[in-house]
Amino acid sequence: MTGQPGLDEIEERFVAILEGRLSRDEADRWAVRWITEGGLVWEGLAWWALNLLSGVDLPAGPTGEYLHDDEQVRTWLQELRQRRAM
């Protein structure tokens, strides 16, 4: 794998989930692919955000709801944007 994603691309995944353009499963698989890729060096904020995305599809139980609902994803997106602005 080449061309590891930057913060813009990672942020876009959060936005795409919230807009319904990307499934949570797709976002999780994308993030896990990068987390498990050997030899990559991650800046702290990118690593933090990828780890959040890697669990975005966890079920809350048999009801079909997610452990981390849309409001939580919005909060993560907002925090990512605030941290980037610092």
Residue pLDDT, tens place only, 2-34: 589 999 999 999 999 999 999 999 999 999 999
pLDDT tens digits along 29-54? 999 999 999 888 898 999 999 999 99
- CA–CA dist 17, 27 (Å, integer): 8
- CA–CA dist 67, 86 (Å, integer): 29
- CA–CA dist 83, 35 (Å, integer): 20
Prediction pTM value: 0.92
